[in-house]
């Protein structure tokens, strides 16, 4: 199976630290318990453009853009960046309960025409009621997933080219349609680990995205979603969301990981763990269970490091090692996973470490969906360049 590589666009800020630009205490409002951090980069359009252009040059097919209080709006940011790139696609994250599904269908159609087909959709149901209420959404966890199922039914119906009626618990639509359906239809990426999320993924997702866990746990989740999809006569593709720290030697990579840990004082970790522990997200709770808030035994599987999740919500694990080590683990994850959505701190520098180190390893093994062209890198080594391949992709954070 060939794989697709994607990068991440840090629209909430970036830097040489694992500590997010905004603290976790008080629902992310206050910073009283967080040690001030240095080396933080604001997500201005010039810096984000550097990352987007680097990702395109290095052969990544798309960039995942998060959604939430602490992020720039994904629709506006990425359509601006589309004007500064040529082939890179954008996985636009949004929450289905906050806008009309017919309006979302219209926005997607317009986006496809403006960018000439470079949109992918990341539907984020939301696992934190505090965050949801901040946007005026007061449904509980399971009802949010039920609403997502209806939302996706309507959005696909509105793309059908003829008036579409829908009468559900959460949406009632009469004659919904987009005057010009998007071409191509955006792939829909979706994640969720709860019992309420599984049937939604099986019925509506094109690509199901999971956060990085040990391979055996990933396989269990894939088998679960695949089985639910088969019951519905559907096929779902799979992706995984991971951070990476790859270097010319494993020793250098682990030194970088340990330096990231050294930047975290106990109070910062405790505040983050307390806030993340309140999340209703089953996926978030699975991330927390990988390390239990402890710095001990963070390598939970060969080259799979859970240190990121000590302070970061969402994806909390990283592949750490030499370029060959990281390529080995990606190859090992061929459990039916096609899409690898990657990131690193800082995102600009880590994109180059991966693109110039791991991507050539994967290409040499025949694993890439399209072998990148060879473009001279600044250090004289060949780097992976964009090949203009069509892309699929997914994620939240």
Q: What is the pLDDT of residue 280?
A: 86
Whether pLDDT at 397 is above 70: no
pLDDT category of residue 335 using cuts at 50, 70 and 90: confident
Run of H or E including 65: strand 62-65
Whether pLDDT at 376 is above 80: no
Handedness of CA 61, 215, 356, 316 (dihedral sign): positive
Q: Which of 27-31, 56-60, 211-215, 325-329 has the lowest mean pLDDT?
A: 27-31
User: Which of 258, 346, 380 is CA-nearest to residue 8?
Assistant: 346
Structural tokens at position 3: 């794989």
Q: What is the pLDDT of residue 393?
A: 27
| DSSP secondary structure letters along 319-387 | EEEEHHHHHHHHHHTTTTEEEEEEE-SSHHHHHHHHHHHHHHHHHHTT-BSSPPEEEE-TTSSEEEE--
- Write the CB contacts of 308 (distance below 8 Å, at least 6 apart in sequence): 18, 243, 260, 315, 316, 317, 318
Q: What is the pLDDT of residue 32?
A: 47
Backbone angles phi, psi at 142, to 5 degrees: -70, -35
Whether pLDDT at 117 is above 80: yes
What is the C-alpha to C-alpha distance for residues 140 and 15, in angstroms, rounded to an integer?
Answer: 34
Q: Which of 36-45, 76-85, 195-204, 344-353 has the lowest mean pLDDT?
A: 36-45
Q: What is the pLDDT of residue 37?
A: 58
User: Which of 8, 79, 70 is CA-nearest to residue 394?
Assistant: 8
Cis peptide before 184 (omega within 30 of 0): yes
Q: What is the pLDDT of residue 19?
A: 66
Digit-coded pLDDT (tens) for 82-96? 999 999 999 999 999
Block residue for tokens 């690898």? 340
The arithmetic mean of pLDDT across residues 310-327, rounded, is 94
- The chain-wide mean pLDDT, for the chain, equals 88
User: Which of 338, 335, 307, 304 is CA-nearest to residue 321?
Assistant: 304
Q: What is the pLDDT of residue 25?
A: 39
Q: What is the pLDDT of residue 96?
A: 92
pLDDT category of residue 277 using cuts at 50, 70 and 90: confident
* Cβ atoms of 80 and 51 closer than 8 Å: no
């Amino acid at each position: 199976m060939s794989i697709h590589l994607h990068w991440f666009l840090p629209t909430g800020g970036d830097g040489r630290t694992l500590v997010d630009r905004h603290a976790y205490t008080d629902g992310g409002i206050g910073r009283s318990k967080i040690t001030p951090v240095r080396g933080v980069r604001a997500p201005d359009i010039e810096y984000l453009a550097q990352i987007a252009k680097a990702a395109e040059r290095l052969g990544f097919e798309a960039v995942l853009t998060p959604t939430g209080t602490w992020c720039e709006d994904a629709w506006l940011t990425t359509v601006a960046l589309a004007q500064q790139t040529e082939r890179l696609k954008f996985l636009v994250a949004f929450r289905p309960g906050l806008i009309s599904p017919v309006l979302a269908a219209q926005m997607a159609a317009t986006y496809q025409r403006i960018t000439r087909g470079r949109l992918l959709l990341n539907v984020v149901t939301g696992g934190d009621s505090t965050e949801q209420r901040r946007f005026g959404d007061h449904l509980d966890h399971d009802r949010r997933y039920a609403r997502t199922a209806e939302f996706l039914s309507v959005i696909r119906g509105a793309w059908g080219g003829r008036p579409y009626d829908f009468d559900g618990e959460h949406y009632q639509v009469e004659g919904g349609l987009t005057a010009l359906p998007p071409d191509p239809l955006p792939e829909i990426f979706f994640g969720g680990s709860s019992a309420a999320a599984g049937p939604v993924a099986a019925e509506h997702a094109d690509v199901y995205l999971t956060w990085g866990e040990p391979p055996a746990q990933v396989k269990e989740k894939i088998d679960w979603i695949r089985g639910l999809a088969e019951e519905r006569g559907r096929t779902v593709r799979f992706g995984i969301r991971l951070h990476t720290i790859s270097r010319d030697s494993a020793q250098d990579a682990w030194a970088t990981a340990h330096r990231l840990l050294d930047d975290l004082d106990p109070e910062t970790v405790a505040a983050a763990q307390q806030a993340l522990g309140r999340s209703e997200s089953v996926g978030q709770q699975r991330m927390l269970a990988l390390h239990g808030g402890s710095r001990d035994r963070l390598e939970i599987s060969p080259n799979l490091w859970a240190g990121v999740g000590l302070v970061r919500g969402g994806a909390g694990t990283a592949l750490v090692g030499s370029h060959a080590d990281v390529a080995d683990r990606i190859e090992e994850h061929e459990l039916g996973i096609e899409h690898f959505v990657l990131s690193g701190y800082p995102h600009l520098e880590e994109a180059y470490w991966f693109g110039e180190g791991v991507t050539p390893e994967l290409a040499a093994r025949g694993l890439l969906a399209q072998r990148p062209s060879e473009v001279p890198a600044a250090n004289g080594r060949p780097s992976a360049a964009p090949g203009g391949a069509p892309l699929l992709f997914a994620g939240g954070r």
